[in-house]
Chain A
């Protein structure tokens, strides 16, 4: 199943999720850093692929825009 665009908690993001950041840039998460610049209350989502390298930080208790999630159940 592919979910429609939605807002989800940053802590609910999974590898493979497609996100859109505030600049409008989309990234497919290939890595989740458990802190950002030494701040434990933040995460950073990274796409490190042949397509692009892009980092998007987020507050742990904040929300992010999920563009697509390809669920393995399907």
Chain B
């Protein structure tokens, strides 16, 4: 269950119905990164596939050059007003290191297309989870949300 142990940006547990039996693209996000405009592509993915059983799940993280320094309210405000993001966000989490969230223990065990598993490299790394809960794809930060390899992978696992 993807939602297990996840708290939303509003401080409440994430409703499992938002994620369960869906294809979920988990992305560690940051508001002050050169890659922050990827929010636009993420939101377009949400619009394109949301009705077909897909969602983006944004995971604010401040472990990369401190580029997500805001409060939950500031992060939420930034996402909705700057990029019109409609997909769910978790609370701020660690994705690397000894305090990383259990979800990222699972995710980082999965290799990318070059066979490299382990640490999240930077902001906006993307992991695709199938509706059955299997991690089926890992895309490094430089790969845009709407890159063919991402959309093909999403379309392969839509319920």
Interface residues of A (CB under 8 A from B): 21-25, 37-38, 48-50, 52-57
Contact = CB atoms under 8 A, between A and B. Distances in A.
Contacts, number: 43
B78 interface: no
Interface residues of B, number: 17
B9 to A, nearest CB: 20
Contacts of A55: 63-65, 96, 122
Given A38-B142, A52-B97, A53-B63, 16 more contacts: A21-B66, A22-B65, A22-B66, A23-B67, A23-B69, A37-B141, A48-B96, A48-B97, A50-B98, A52-B99, A53-B94, A53-B96, A54-B63, A54-B64, A55-B63, A55-B122
Nearest to B95: A53
Nearest to B141: A37
Interface string B78-110: 000000000000000010111110000000000
Contacts of B4: none
Given A37-B121, A53-B99, A23 B141 contact: no
Dominant SS among interface residues on chain B? loop
Nearest to B96: A53
A4 B140 CA distance: 38
13 contacts: A21-B66, A22-B65, A22-B66, A23-B66, A37-B121, A48-B96, A48-B97, A49-B97, A49-B98, A52-B63, A54-B63, A55-B96, A57-B65
Contact of B65 (A23, A37, A50, A53): A23
Interface in B106-159: 121-122, 140-142
